Chains A and B, each alone.
Chain A
Amino acid sequence: MGKMTMVEAINMAHAWEMAQDPSVIVLGEDVGTNGGVFRATAGLQQRFGKQRVQDTPLAEGLIAGAAIGMAAGGLKPVAEIQFMGFIYPALDQIASHMARLRNRTRGRLTCPLVLRMPHGGGIHAPEHHSESLEALLCHHPGLRVVCPSSPARAYGLLLAAIRDPDPVIFLEPVRLYRHARQDVEDDGRALPIGHCITLRPGTDLTIVTWGALTVDCLKAAEQMSPEGVSCEVIDVSTLAPIDFDTILDSVVRTGRLLIVHEAVRTAGLGAEIAAVVAEEALYDLEAPIRRVTGYDTIMPLYRLEHDFIPGVARILDGIRATLSV
């Protein structure tokens, strides 16, 4: 056990599973000698060799496609896309093949692989390095999309992702990579995929969020506490397929729902969550569902990035607006 950052926990999960399972292969741009631009794969090539940690040419579609071929060929590839803003060339492979291979071969060929990538903004990165594009991926049945919110959860969920029999897109919130240190036990224990995680119990309002904004939502919930407002904070954690049961159970108890995400609002995942709650629990609601999200704009260059990303002030306003009805 040791205090570590999320990126160190991600590295540790790789190392654990590579030591346990010789079929786990890491691939991507700069993952080998360089150990990844965020250091997520640091030291793995030195420890496990060049066969098991493969630097690839610079081509995201190739990385995703090669991972499919490797997975169907009996390996467990853990591939890194350097930034989520570069996912577009890989979407053909993800949507046309990765998500569909099991289904189109009636289970004969499968894709047990992990495609990891940084998610979101907030670290003063250049253009195209700060995108939150989870909705693009959640729209494809056959994929699991996972987004951890702490070092320990990143460790446990990445292990689960590697062990999953289906393709898992693993979104790593860049803002949390080195945000805080936490005790993480290197015990090889996976956390379950497919479940929301209730980070803070509450009775007056349900806040549903994921990724880096869990931190801001917890802060906002804390700040509402002296006013006698009890907020429940749910980390969706697995963005596809979503565990709606946990969200609905909470909303039925609190009667109020605030959805907070960094991605642009239109056709974002928050819209789907709002729609399901409206379909299943409208009469349990005491106030309209509200969303606090990124604006429907291009992710700005970094001087304005914190004006784009919802912060505690906007979340507090969202909470108050929901409670005012």
Chain B
Amino acid sequence: MRSGTVVAGFEITYRGCLASDGTLCGPLPAFTDDTELLRQLYRAMVRARVFDTKAVNLQRTGKLGTYPSCLGHEATHVGVGSAMRAEDVLFTVYREIGTKFWRGVDMLDVLLYWGGDERGTNYRRTPQDFPFCVPIASQMPQAAGAALAIQIRGEPRCVLVFIGDGGTSQGACYEALNLAGVKQLPLVCVIVNNRWAISVPVSAQTAAQTLAQKAIAAGIPACQVDGNDVLIVRETVAQALERARGGGGPTVIEALTYRLSDHTTSDDATRYRAANEVEAAQRIEPLARTRRFLESRGLWNEQAEAELRRECGEAVDAAVKQYLATPKQSTDSMFDFLYAQLPPALRGQREDARRYSALKT
């Protein structure tokens, strides 16, 4: 080979369809013929936001623990959820309630989890899904393992794993993508680039032009999408899942969005980012454009909006009521799920916990 020969190259394509003003900036995916589905997508986004607003308020009034808001991520989360099949396996970080709700996780479960109760991870409708994952990027190797299990068993299922922009700096991210490439696993990875890992902007996280291109080194096809465009997220993820289901291997999709909230309720983002940046991001947030799009097609109006807001408010209030009325678990629960059977050496400690807890009440 001649010295100086180019031996590898790559391109990352950006995809979008719904512009921030609700007009079209790309071809409409075929699924948009289903007008009821379009309305469902919008409803799910609003439901996530109404829940999110309430959850932050609950934390502010001391009724919920630290909570990571999903404000601004609704299109990515709902788009992904709607593209998955019920039997697929979902691995999330800790913000993706829009995806979880779409898959049938109850609002009560999410409240219980952030309210300090492990019962909130007991997803009845998708019992194969993993719970929220707090240690950054540690869900990635597990997702690769779940995809490997599916491949070994020859099942027509896929794994979808979320990771954030900060998570792409972790070794576990590369390790998992590398395995997915080597074994051609049925894995779709959605990198939610919301521009901020707590106080660190993406520019300080990596010198790469895109996060999607991190897949290239693992030999995985990748693209970048407008993560505030629920239509393109759903379409791109659905195509990737379909390819994976047919044995076509993994895909990485970078969804560009913006964390409009603080990192969590314990954070104050005004300490590290400019108000004008957040204001600019507000103008391209996902809900308004989706509503405008629906209205332009005669699929939505003021009355439908009012009705939806009322429904969501009622659903959230009912979940909150149930959450606040849920008594805490017994201290036995600290011990009873450590092993299939409690080791004899722990029986004494379980008794102690019971006794002291009874004294306190």
- Residues of A in contact with B (beta carbons under 8 Å apart): 25, 51-52, 54, 56-57, 59, 61-62, 64-75, 77, 89, 92-93, 96-97, 102-110, 141-142, 144, 164-166, 194, 241-245
Contact = CB atoms under 8 A, between A and B. Distances in A.
Interface stretch (B141-149, B209-217, B239-247, B281-289): B141-149
Best-buried of B135, B143, B152, B340 by chain A (most CB within 10 Å): B152
A108 B122 contact: yes
25 contacts: A54-B183, A56-B179, A59-B171, A61-B171, A61-B172, A62-B176, A65-B141, A65-B176, A66-B142, A66-B145, A69-B143, A69-B149, A70-B148, A72-B146, A92-B135, A93-B138, A93-B142, A96-B135, A102-B338, A105-B121, A106-B121, A107-B337, A108-B121, A109-B127, A243-B344
Contact of A166 (B122, B143, B339): B339
A59 B138 CA distance: 13
Given A62-B175, A141-B338, A104 B131 contact: yes
The contact size tier of chain B is 35 or more
Contacts of B182: 57
B360 interface: no
B339 A57 contact: no
A166 B153 contact: no
A96 B337 contact: no
Contacts of B176: 62, 65-66
A67 B344 CA distance: 27
Given A25-B152, A89-B171, A68 B339 contact: no
B156 to A, nearest CB: 14
Which 5 pairs between the two chains have the least Cβ-Cβ distance?
Answer: A65-B141, A69-B145, A66-B145, A73-B149, A69-B146
B10 to A, nearest CB: 21
Contacts of A71: 145
Contacts of A73: 89, 128, 145-146, 149-150, 153
B76 interface: no
Given A51-B152, A141-B338, A244-B345, A68 B121 contact: no
A62 B179 contact: yes
B97 interface: no
B337 A106 contact: yes
Contacts of A69: 141-149, 159
B274 to A, nearest CB: 34
B339 A66 contact: no
B122 A66 contact: no
B160 interface: no
Contacts of B339: 102, 142, 144, 165-166
Contact of A102 (B141, B171, B337, B344): B337
A74 B118 CA distance: 22
A65 B172 contact: yes
A241 B128 CA distance: 28
Contacts of A96: 135, 138
Nearest to B133: A97
B279 to A, nearest CB: 37
Given A57-B178, A57-B179, A243-B344, 7 more contacts: A69-B143, A70-B145, A73-B89, A96-B135, A103-B337, A103-B338, A164-B340
